[in-house]
């Protein structure tokens, strides 16, 4: 029996040249594409700005574009929306979440916070708008130490949600932080044993690690920093080889900046691709195109939550200037 071909959905009409189709839509909408280093290479290549969480927030705070296409995960796009309530903020895939943000449910955190009434809350930006609304100051991996160092010594602090970054900040500042028990599945996947084996095979290589990694991995690092800091270090170091203990999307920029250097992905505990962030990788060039074309999926935040979440982000942006 003859069966008619079902009509093609509009989403099937993918242009042959996605790069120029995205450029046209960007111009039409006066849109800016902000991308995190963990995005796939093609998305990084069409972005107007690529950066770490602090750089992306600063760009979001200062852009004159009418539309922000955020090529990253939900909490990042949410931060852009908190800073720009009147702009259209698009996230190519709304499912692009974050295990760290998920590890801190707002109701549980409110109960935890109530146990420490004298403490202020400093939250890592990798958290939901609801957690930001329960916080006093936001920080990122690039300014966490700097921000904690600006808090008077006698002021007790809760640090949420990343216990690994929290431990690193305790070590760097000598402060006694109360930590929420959250973590990132990607940065906890690295194997200390296999990194040591890799280092033995590549004795000239420097180990660069993100502070979301666990302490046993961090203690082997030659340099610890945010993604932007790791990228800068790889450019200025005289070393020619590096073992990269963070999401390997950053290697695209490292190779572009210094093509003569060798960048090796730090291994996970199993032979999986667990060091690739499954949330970041949900975004694709096709989804970027359709988000701009259809002006959806859009980030929407209840205004009451947005207003409460705005102040601690604004404090972070101010304190980062000091
Ligand atoms: P940074 O880019 O701020 O270093 O953060 C890394 C990260 O895990 C983002 O989710
Ligand atoms: Fe979240 Fe970790 Fe992915 Fe960053 S790498 S977005 S912290 S799950």
Is residue 271 assigned to a domain? no
Is residue 161 assigned to a domain? yes
Distance CA 293, CA 315 (A): 35
Indicate if 171 and 313 belong to the same structural domain. Answer: yes
CB-based contacts of 122: which residues, under 8 Å, 6+ apart?
Answer: 135, 136, 137, 138, 139, 144, 147, 148, 151, 157, 158, 159, 160, 177
Pocket of ligand 2 (CB under 6 A): 73, 98-100, 126, 184-186, 212, 247, 277, 279-280
CB-based contacts of 218: which residues, under 8 Å, 6+ apart?
Answer: 164, 168, 209, 211, 224
Is residue 273 assigned to a domain? no
Is residue 270 assigned to a domain? no
Number of domains the chain contains = 3
Indicate if 250 and 293 belong to the same structural domain. Answer: no
Task: Locate the ligand 1 atom nearest the alpha carbon of residue 75 and give its number.
Answer: 10
Is residue 212 assigned to a domain? yes
From residue 181, alpha-carbon distances to 114, 143, 310 in Å are 16, 20, 24
pLDDT tens for 267-300 read 998 878 889 999 999 999 999 999 999 999 999 9
pLDDT tens for 209-259 read 999 999 999 999 999 999 999 999 999 999 999 999 999 999 999 999 999
Indicate if 240 and 261 belong to the same structural domain. Answer: yes
* Residue 5 clears pLDDT 80, i.e. is over it: no
User: What CATH number is given to the structural domain containing 244?
Assistant: 3.40.50.10800
Indicate if 90 and 39 belong to the same structural domain. Answer: yes
Is residue 129 assigned to a domain? yes
Structural domain boundaries, residue 8: 3-98+279-300
Intra-chain end-to-end CA distance of the chain, in Å: 74
Indicate if 88 and 168 belong to the same structural domain. Answer: no
Q: What is the pLDDT of residue 34?
A: 98
Is residue 128 assigned to a domain? yes
pTM of the model: 0.94
CB-based contacts of 51: which residues, under 8 Å, 6+ apart?
Answer: 34, 36, 37, 59, 227, 228
* Substitution site in 184, 185, 266, 278 for ligand 2 pocket (most atoms within 8 Å of beta carbon): 184
Indicate if 21 and 93 belong to the same structural domain. Answer: yes
| Residues 11, 41, 32, 70, Cα dihedral to 10° | 70
Is residue 167 assigned to a domain? yes
By alpha-carbon position, which residue is closest to atom 10 of ligand 1?
126
Indicate if 25 and 173 belong to the same structural domain. Answer: no
Indicate if 14 and 90 belong to the same structural domain. Answer: yes
* Substitution site in 212, 224, 228 for ligand 1 pocket (most atoms within 8 Å of beta carbon): 212
């Amino acid at each position: 029996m003859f069966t008619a071909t079902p009509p093609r959905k509009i989403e099937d009409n993918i242009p042959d040249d996605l790069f120029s189709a995205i450029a046209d839509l960007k111009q039409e909408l006066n849109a800016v594409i902000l991308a995190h280093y963990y995005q796939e290479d093609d998305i990084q290549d069409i972005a107007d700005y690529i950066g770490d969480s602090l750089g992306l927030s600063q760009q979001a705070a200062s852009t004159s574009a009418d539309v922000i296409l955020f090529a990253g995960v939900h909490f990042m796009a949410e931060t852009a929306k908190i800073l720009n309530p009147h702009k259209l903020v698009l996230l190519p895939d709304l499912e692009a979440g974050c295990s760290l943000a998920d590890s801190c449910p707002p109701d549980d955190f409110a109960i935890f916070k109530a146990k420490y009434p004298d403490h202020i809350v400093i939250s890592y930006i990798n958290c939901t708008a609801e957690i930001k609304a329960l916080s006093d100051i936001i920080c990122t991996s690039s300014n966490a130490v700097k921000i904690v160092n600006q808090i008077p010594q006698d002021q007790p602090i809760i640090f949420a949600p990343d216990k690994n970054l929290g431990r690193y900040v305790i070590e760097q500042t000598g402060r006694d932080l109360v930590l929420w028990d959250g973590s990132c599945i990607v940065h906890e996947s690295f194997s200390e044993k296999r990194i040591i084996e890799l280092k033995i095979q590549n004795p000239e290589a420097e180990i660069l690690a993100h502070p979301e990694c666990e302490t046993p991995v961090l203690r082997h690092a030659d340099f610890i920093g945010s993604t932007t800091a790791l990228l800068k270090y790889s450019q200025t170091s005289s070393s020619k080889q590096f073992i990269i203990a963070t999401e390997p999307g950053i290697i695209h920029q490292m190779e572009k900046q210094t093509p003569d250097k060798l960048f090796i992905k730090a291994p996970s505990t199993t032979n999986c691709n667990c060091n690739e962030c499954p949330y970041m990788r949900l975004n694709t060039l096709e989804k970027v195109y359709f988000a701009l074309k259809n002006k959806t999926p859009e980030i929407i935040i209840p205004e009451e939550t947005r207003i409460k979440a705005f102040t601690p982000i604004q404090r972070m942006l101010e304190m980062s200037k000091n």
